[in-house]
Structures are given as structure tokens and as C-alpha cells.
Amino acid sequence: MNEPFSPAALAFRDDGTLYSPRHDDIYHSAAGALAQARHVFLRSNGLPERWRSKARFSIIETGFGLGINFLATWFAWRDDTSRSDTLEFLSVEKYPFSADDLQRAHEAIIGDASIMPLADELVAAWPALAPGVYRLMFDSGAVALTLVFADIADALRQALALNVDADAIYLDGFAPAKNPEMWASANFALLTRLSAPDATFATYTSSGDVKRALVQNGFEYRKVRGFGGKRAMLVGKRASIREESLCDALT
Ligand SMILES: C[S@@+](CC[C@H](N)C(=O)[O-])C[C@H]1O[C@@H](n2cnc3c(N)ncnc32)[C@H](O)[C@@H]1O
């Protein structure tokens, strides 16, 4: 799928799920986009609890799509009286929707009136459909969304200059079998550099290639029950550096 940067086409399957003809894959589970975001990405990264101990909580996501994960996170953060002072969310996207299509997709998919005001703010702030880094500010600057419109590898390299230090990683880039570039081992090496030593991650996939890429790049994973009838998904964290390997490195 090594195509140039270009906008996404809005297409739905008969069951109402948003679909990518380019990748022949769906954007979210037929069992519900918001429920999937909450189960797979928030709860599996220990949210909301983990942001309560921090002044600034930072998330990096691979694949912004409709921004359902961002909206679910922003909503949960806003709703939490013990939240961090700020929420930083960086996401990469090579095939963004136009603002009009994003709005149509939100109206069709979100199905929760309390999230719609946030979705409308996102649409109103949506940048031009051109490669680049865009910083969108919400809630008087307490919530920052950085969108990097570029291919994943290039986007993660650009993010190295942005002081990211993610506490949580959302891996959400279409099925590895259909979109292997998104899951290349080199991208996980960049994610290691972009995340804090105690960073966690979650993803709906349990693909063997993803497990190998995670371990090769210093992550520990656990297989847990997936969402919406999926048997398994992966959750985990940056592996701690063992003292003996530190000593080895120092001698
Ligand atoms: C499953 S969807 C993400 C859904 C999204 N996280 C949400 O909350 O709505 C996967 C996304 O990855 C993007 N994508 C696919 N290949 C990519 C690539 N090589 N680089 C960057 N983004 C890519 C797709 O355009 C799509 O928006």
C-alpha cells in the first residue's frame, strides 16, 4: 500500500461500519466504535486511573481515522475530576478524511449525543488536507491534539523533534495482514524512542508479526480477551531494563 498521501473516501458496509476500500478493512468494530475505543484503548492502557498521578499525560496513536479514540479519550479526561492538568495526544494519518466527510462519519458512527459537541469542535478545527504537522488546541489549551499527516514511518520520525514522551500508545492501523507497513518493526523502534520508560500500549490485534516486532523493540506483551467477539488482543508496556544488562552495558 505504498501510495502517496491522499484523502480517504467515505464508504460504509451494509451493517453501517465505516470501511476503507483502499485497505479492504473496517475502521472500527461492528460492535461499536466508541465501546471499542473505551475497551481496547482506554481501559487497556489503565485509563483514566493512570493520568491521575501526572500533571501532563501524553498519548501517541498510529492511525487517526475518524478520531474516535481521541474523542473517547478527551471525553473521559474531561469527565474525570482527578485528571492530569493537560492531555497531549499525537496521532499520525496518511489518508485523512475531508472535514465534511469527517462530520458525516461522526454523525453516522458515534451514536452518543454527549460526545457530539467534542466531535463538532474537532471538525471545526480540522486542518487542510496536506502533509504536515498540525497542532489543534481545545479546552483553553489544556488538551492538545498534534496531527502528523504523513506516512507512518515519516510521521514518527517527524515526531522525534516534538518532545512526545508518550505515557500510552494506541496501535490502531488496520489489520497487519492488510496493511503491513503500519506495523513494521522500524516503527516500533521509533515508538520506543517516543515513549516514556513506563509507557503502556494496547492494540486490537494479536498478530504474530506484531508480537515479534514488539519484543524486538523492547516491549512486553500479554494476550487478553479482545472486543466484540474477537478472541484476543495485546496489551503491554515498555520492558524494564534488567540491572544485570545495565551492568553488562557499563563494563
Ligand atoms: C483502523 S483506522 C484508525 C481508527 C482511528 N484510530 C479512530 O479512532 O477513528 C486505521 C487508520 O490508519 C491509517 N493508515 C493506514 N496506513 C497508514 C500509513 N501507512 N501511515 C499513516 N496512517 C495510515 C488509515 O488511513 C486509517 O485512518
Write down the pLDDT at residue 228.
94
Distance from residue 170's CA to the centre of ligand 1 (Å): 11
Distance of CA 231 to the CA centre of its chain: 21
Amino acid at position 229, single letter: G
Give nearest CA residue, ligand 1 atom 14.
63
Contact 86, 55 (CB under 8 A): yes
Q: Which residues of the chain have pLDDT under 50?
A: 243-251
Write down the pLDDT at residue 3.
82
Distance from residue 204's CA to the centre of ligand 1 (Å): 13
- Ligand 1 neighbour 69 (Cβ under 6 A): yes
Please give the Cα distance from 151 to 157 (Å, whole number): 10
Write down the pLDDT at residue 1.
57
Distance from residue 71's CA to the centre of ligand 1 (Å): 15
- pLDDT, one tens digit per residue, over 181-214 is 999 999 999 999 999 999 999 999 999 999 999 9
- pLDDT, one tens digit per residue, over 145-174 is 999 999 999 999 999 999 999 999 999 999
Tell me which CATH homologous superfamily contains domain 11-250: Vaccinia Virus protein VP39 (3.40.50.150)
Write down the pLDDT at residue 51.
98
- Ligand 1 neighbour 173 (Cβ under 6 A): yes
